[in-house]
Amino acid sequence: MRALRSTRLTMPAVLADGRGLSGGMLRQLFIGQCLVLALHLAWMPAWLVGLALLVAGYRLVQLRRGLPRAGILLRLAAVGSLVLALWLQFGTLGSMDGLVGLLLGVYLLKLLETHDRRDARVVVVIGLVATTVAFLHDQGIPMAAGALLAVAWLLQSLVWLSGATGLRQAWRETAWLLALSAPLMVVLFVTFPRLGPLWSMPQMDRASTGLTDQISPGDIAQLSRSDARAFRASFEGRDPAPGERYWRVYTLSHFDGIRWSRATPEQLAATLDRPVDAFVREAVRSPWQSPEGAGFSAELLLEPDNRPWRPSLGTPLSSEELQRYLADGTLEGLTPLSSRSLMRLSSSGSPPTNSPPAGERWYRLLPEDANPRTRALAERLWRESGSDPDAYLEAMMARFGEAPYRYTLSPPRLVGEHRVDDFLFDSQAGYCTHYASAAAVMARMAGIPARVVAGFLGGERNPDGHFTVRDYDGHAWVEVWRNGAWQRLDPTAVIAPERVEQGTQAVDDGAEAFLADARFSPLRMREVDWANRLRQEWERLEYRWQRGVIGYQRESRRSLMAQLVSWWREAWARLDALLPGRGSLSTALSLVTTLVVAAGLALLAHRGWRHRRRQGDERWLVGHLQGWLARHGLAAHPGESPASHLRRVAPQAGPAGRALEECARDLERLAYAPLEEAERHQRRRRLSNRVAEVCRRLGRPRR
């Protein structure tokens, strides 16, 4: 049994003729395909697994039963079926998903026509390209670890194809190649400027924030069912208190009686007959706000989103990159986010203070004859408050805090024509959008300009200090125009203060809806101390990976280089202070550096000259080769000529046997044949290459 196991470990990957592939090598290639395919399965169709098994099964039957190779008709039919299946799956082959699927399908089908080492190397190269393409989907830690495993396996396949004689040697050479490339990879990562992606893999089926640019009562309540991450934020300076974590995403100013929607700058410009730049500007700093009002500086790690929204804590003031600043306090990027992105942003933490370019009348508009019972209530409260807008708003907010109004994660559905009436007088139970919509409508009925703001409230603070904001933190509140500035009104803070202080998970009414769409979310075990700590540690590690590795950009590189230069200068100054005399350390180090460089160049020149001289001496080459064979247990017999020695041990040298026979022929020609100088030089060069090939295939001798 031990002998059989040893035979399996040392079985060559290619057949004795050096052209055809063995079943072991095909199995090696198939495992590599499985590892590469696993990186894409979360985004690619699952039937690609069936395709891989079908191709591998066909090759297995072909080898065992000696069937003929796959003909041109079978291969064309396979490619045609692949293209048709991808077209039916994605509707087009021009999308990035379709192109990646085509690459993976061709990679799997290539095994049908893989019969020699050249074809096998092509399969491995396609696998390396497909592994790189996987980072278009995701760049997290699991993807990086899986890609490293796939690359290691593919490199091991190349080592087998180069003539490895055993499993231990193959993995040793693979580890050596990876170890040699690691320092170069680190140096290039730290010093080489990061280029923008030539293409990207946007996830257009769902925006990561979960918010839309129009809402009706109950829409944001659906977000409480999801634990999808919207963004993460870390602050420079003090962290905002729970009551200050109002992340605005966009402003809704148009109400049609059922839902609130956003009026874009282009729509406002066309409706009010004003230039577009009266409502939006592209700049690094907001033209609508004073930069002196900055209250918070944060670094945001944004999730992919097919819309250009950028969250801000209160009113956005400035960013390091060009952004679109809207007059209503909305911040937009120039393009949607196709992957996780870092953004540094300064914000005020409070509502905007600039006057609305659309005019106050725009924020008083309401449908005629809509919600008559709410209008009667507003008129009564206005009379009771003595026509004082501030007193009216206080009375309105106080009414929301009275029974039987309640805050629930499972609000009843409203389907009537007058939905604000139905909520205030019939159901009297709702989520933040119910109360925000009713408050904005009642404010407008009293002639007070008002609008609804949609965004997020709160966020989970992780042990390392950064905040994670998720879908279930979605929130809506109201802004009213009073005394020359916008003021925030949040009815949720009146009826459910625990929602503001502790988050959505603190709401008891309708708690069964919380994370209902995320049944296997680790957040469900947040009450278990060890499980919650483990989840937070993983999120902390993943956050640092995204910021330090994926988010390593030009500014980070400059900061690191500046820090390294600063450390070097400090160390230099300390060493210089230890030596007497001004500049003595510089003189000494310069002299030592000059001597070391000169000695190094002389050594390199000597070694190059000696190597070149030895490569032109066939006696030294053969002596070196015979010594290498002796260390492998293939020494020459007493009185045996070098050529006879090489021919005798060739059958015992495995994949190196062919090169040994060619060495013997070249040696005899150089020793006995009358050759021209040009042909003799060519023979010596060929002999040198064959000696190097033998040494490479045999590997280093065991001690």
Domain locations along the chain: 2-191, 214-532, 616-698
* pLDDT value for 628: 79
Average of pLDDT values for 56-70? 83
Interhelix angle 584-615/618-631, rounded to 10 degrees, is 100
Give the tens place of pLDDT for each residue, 342-376: 889 999 989 998 999 999 999 999 998 888 999 99
- By C-alpha distance, which of 350, 230, 235 is closest to 299? 235
Give the tens place of pLDDT for each residue, 209-263: 567 778 877 667 677 778 888 899 999 888 898 889 999 999 999 998 888 999 9
Lowest-confidence pick of 398-412, 532-546, 600-614:
600-614
Q: Which residues are catalytic?
A: 432, 475, 490
Give the per-residue SS3 of 514-539.
Answer: CCCCCCCCHHHHCCCHHHHHHHHHHH
Q: What is d(CA 149, CA 171) in angstroms, rounded to the nearest whole number?
A: 12
Give the tens place of pLDDT for each residue, 270-305: 999 999 999 999 999 999 887 776 789 999 999 888
Is residue 19 over pLDDT 60? no
* pLDDT value for 193: 63
**Model confidence, pTM:** 0.71
* pLDDT value for 315: 92
Q: Give 591's pLDDT tier (boundaries 50, 70, 90).
A: confident
* pLDDT value for 480: 95
Q: What is d(CA 56, CA 493) in angstroms, rounded to the nearest whole number?
A: 62
Is residue 503 over pLDDT 90? no
Q: What is d(CA 541, CA 464) in angstroms, rounded to the nearest whole number?
A: 10
Give the tens place of pLDDT for each residue, 160-203: 888 777 788 888 889 998 998 888 888 887 777 665 554 444 44
Give the tens place of pLDDT for each residue, 519-548: 778 887 888 888 888 888 888 888 888 887
* pLDDT value for 609: 67
Is residue 431 over pLDDT 70? yes
Is residue 7 over pLDDT 50? no
* pLDDT value for 204: 41
Q: What is d(CA 475, CA 477) in angstroms, rounded to the nearest whole number?
A: 7
Interhelix angle 372-384/432-445, rounded to 10 degrees, is 60
Is residue 690 over pLDDT 90? no
* pLDDT value for 10: 41
How far separated are the first and last CA of the chain, in Å rounded?
25
User: Can you spell out the DSSP letters for 489-500?
Assistant: E-HHHHH-HHHH
Average of pLDDT values for 85-112? 89
Question: Is 377:424 a contact under the CB 8 Å cutoff?
Answer: yes
Which position has the higher pLDDT, 248 or 662? 248
* pLDDT value for 417: 83
Question: Is 587:581 a contact under the CB 8 Å cutoff?
Answer: no
Q: Give 559's pLDDT tier (boundaries 50, 70, 90).
A: low
Strand partners, 337: 305
Q: What is d(CA 253, CA 233) in angstroms, rounded to the nearest whole number?
A: 28
* pLDDT value for 530: 87
